[in-house]
Structure 1
Amino acid sequence: MQVRVNVKRIGRRKNAIETRPYEIGEVRDVGELIAAFVTAEVARFNERATAGETALRYLTNAEIADAAMVGKIGFGADYNGQVQDLTAAIENARQSFEDGIYRIFINGDEVGGALDTPITLRENDEITFVRLTMLAGRMW
């Protein structure tokens, strides 16, 4: 099934969020949704790590300017070359969701806070993962 995922481009002022098509299998609950996305991303990361990309891609002037706004200009290369453990990555993502580190929205509606919350996805649904930032300080 194809869904649309909202992705934020770091450092962009205009069009900061773009929608990308994403292919996932059937999911019945939040835990399966998280596992489907983590599995796809770990596979993509491990493919790059094992490919041994020796040539770095070039950066355009616009990409350099965007990265400079964030404070780090880099090529996105993984010099370690280590592959990630899928089971550990899924467990980490599930634990982070339960701990409230990020929220999931489907078509603008927030998904419940439990991993066993049932969901119904249809073709071309819009999914947004929002990472929350913890602020330090105290109430006056």
Structure 2
Amino acid sequence: MIVKIAVKSAAKRRNIEYRDYELTAVKNLLELIGALVDCEIDRYEQDELKVLSQADIDTMLEQGKVTFGFKYREDVVIDRSEAKRTAIEAFNDGLFVVFINDKQIEDTNTVLSLQNNDVIVLVRLTMLAGRCF
């Protein structure tokens, strides 16, 4: 099935950009997070070095950092199970929230019935940080 995924930071004012992801059937949020981690790892491993366009550079300048897509540690093999554990821990710690078709999913064991073209939004929450002297 193909679903539309958007990742949004609560602090950013830019429009949300949706990407299509092809997923196998998932039963709950735990499996959905694992499937998304697998998709991202596959995409990272297949990513090729590309020449940046002026639009790419301008977008990165807005974000405050221009990168060139180098993989500095190509010899490192990504541990998928560790990556999934980290993503699930981040969700449980409240670092991001998940919305499926505008409904927030709060529990990793929530049963999901995803259909083609469902919209999934991941919102990365920005924590306030400061110093006390």
| Shift in Å, 1:80 | 1.1
> With CA pairs under 8 Å and 6+ residues apart, which has the higher RCO, 1 or 2?
2
| Shift in Å, 1:6 | 1.9
- Calculate percent identity across the aligned residue pairs: 41
Who is 2:22 aligned against? 23
Q: Which amino acid aligns with 1:118?
A: V
Who is 1:119 aligned against? 112
Q: How far apart, CA to CA, are the structure 1 residues paired with 2:27 and 2:122?
A: 18
How many residue pairs get aligned? The number is 128
1:38 is the counterpart of 2:37: yes
Asked if structure 1 preserves the Cα contact closer than 8 Å seen for 2:50 and 2:69, the reply is no
Q: How far apart, CA to CA, are the structure 2 residues paired with 1:23 and 1:86?
A: 18
Who is 1:101 aligned against? 95
Change in Cα spacing, 1:95 to 1:13, as seen in structure 2 (3 Å) is closer
Q: How far apart, CA to CA, are the structure 1 residues paired with 2:13 and 2:50?
A: 23
Q: Which amino acid aligns with 1:26?
A: A
Query: What are structure 2's unaligned runs of at least 5 residues?
Result: none
**Residues 62-96 of structure 1, C-alpha deviations (whole Å, 9 max, x = no match):** 22122122221111221211221100000001111
Q: How far apart, CA to CA, are the structure 1 residues paired with 2:101 and 2:42?
A: 26
Q: Report the TM-score, using the length of structure 1 for normalisation.
A: 0.81
Asked if structure 2 preserves the Cα contact closer than 8 Å seen for 1:7 and 1:20, the reply is no
Query: What are structure 1's unaligned runs of at least 5 residues?
Result: none
SS at match of 1:21: strand
Q: CA RMSD in A?
A: 2.2
Q: Could you list the runs of 4 or more consecutive aligned residues of structure 1 that deviate by over 6 angstroms after TM superposition?
A: none
Q: How far apart, CA to CA, are the structure 1 residues paired with 2:129 and 2:13?
A: 26
Asked if structure 2 preserves the Cα contact closer than 8 Å seen for 1:46 and 1:83, the reply is no
Q: Report the TM-score, using the length of structure 2 for normalisation.
A: 0.85
**Residues 22-73 of structure 1, C-alpha deviations (whole Å, 9 max, x = no match):** 100001111011011111111222344xxxx5xx422112221221222211
1:1-140 correspondence to structure 2 within 5 Å: 1-7=1-7, 16-48=15-47, 56-81=49-74, 82-112=76-106, 114-137=107-130
